[in-house]
Amino acid sequence: MKLHGKTAIISGAGTGIGAATAKLFAAEGARITLTGRRPGPLQEVVGEIEAAGGTAQAVAGDVADRAHCRDLVAETLAAYGRLDILFANAGSGDRALVVETTEELWDQTMNTNLKGTFLCVQAALPTMQEQNGGVIVTMSSILGQSGLAQTSAYSATKAGIEQLTKVVALEGAPYGIRANAVAPGWVETPLTEGAQKDEALLARIPQTRFGRPEEIAHAVLYLASDDARWVTGTVLTIDGGWQAG
Ligand SMILES: NC(=O)c1ccc[n+]([C@@H]2O[C@H](COP(=O)([O-])OP(=O)(O)OC[C@H]3O[C@@H](n4cnc5c(N)ncnc54)[C@H](OP(=O)(O)O)[C@@H]3O)[C@@H](O)[C@H]2O)c1
């Protein structure tokens, strides 16, 4: 098992990529704190993990709330005694042209994606520094690197997350802390429900299909595990070939 004895916090863990990663991490031996705003989906995933013999707890809340991010770390230490891995995955983003992007949409996207990632990282770092080790994986997107109409707020947050991750890698290295981002292409999750039947979009993906949440989870597992012990400050793209074009 690649994460035997490790503990992890995963945000956005009730659905999609976060849920798939939580189940994979648990199968690999990690004890996990799952977070997201809605308790229902989190409890469902905790139930699945426990039914499979794993260990997990749900701590519901908003990652844009600094107090919640600090609670996440405190609850993880209380339950499991240490914090080895943070997967800052929670994110959202509705599509709108720049001229139609409301200040509310901009702020909400910034708060969840960029500020939420920052606050989770900031809350986790002191414990990882004390432990002299830890791994942070953040969630970018192919839209952190290439543009797509109607995604100004979302793309800006993902580009920001990549830069934040590089800085965390530099500041974390003296403490044995690694930080990397994953940048998925189009993945079958609730976030992309509207796009999944878009034939023109599918035709632009070299593998002509959306990715599956489990396919991203395996990339996160690689970065979180000791297999990636010399990998830090980088962005791992998993996109069925989208960026090659
Ligand atoms: N699907 C794709 O094609 C794709 C591609 C590239 C990157 N990504 C990124 O992957 C991440 C996961 O998305 P997904 O595709 O798996 O979609 P998803 O199923 O909608 O997952 C997003 C999760 O984030 C949680 N969340 C949203 N806002 C939150 C907040 N303020 N505080 C705490 N949790 C919050 C949601 O739960 P609650 O609503 O209960 O809070 C939900 O479980 C996102 O960062 C997304 O940008 C997705």
Ligand 1: residues with CB < 6 A are 11-12, 14-18, 36-38, 41, 62-64, 89-92, 112, 116, 139, 141, 184, 186-187, 189-192
- Give dist(CA 66, CA 236) in Å, integer: 28
Q: How far is the CA of 174 from the centre of ligand 1 (A)?
A: 31
Please confirm, yes or no, whether 154 is among the known catalytic residues: yes
Helix (H), strand (E) at residue 201: helix 199-204
| pLDDT at site 245 | 84
For residues 114 and 164, the answer to whether their CB atoms sit within 8 Å is yes
| pLDDT at site 199 | 93
Q: Supply the residue whose CA is at minimum distance from atom 2 of ligand 1.
A: 187
Average pLDDT of the chain? 97
- Give dist(CA 70, CA 218) in Å, integer: 27
Domain ranges of the chain: 7-239
For residues 205 and 241, the answer to whether their CB atoms sit within 8 Å is yes
Ligand 1 atom at minimal distance to the Cα of residue 91: 45
Claim: this prediction has a pTM higher than 0.85: yes
Residues of the chain with pLDDT under 70: none
Residue 110 carries which DSSP code? I
For residues 20 and 216, the answer to whether their CB atoms sit within 8 Å is yes
What's the token pair of residue 7?
Answer: 């503990």
Instruction: Render pLDDT for 167-198 as a digit per residue (tens, 0 to 9).
Output: 999 999 999 999 999 999 999 999 999 899 89
Superfamily the domain 7-239 falls into: NAD(P)-binding Rossmann-like Domain (3.40.50.720)
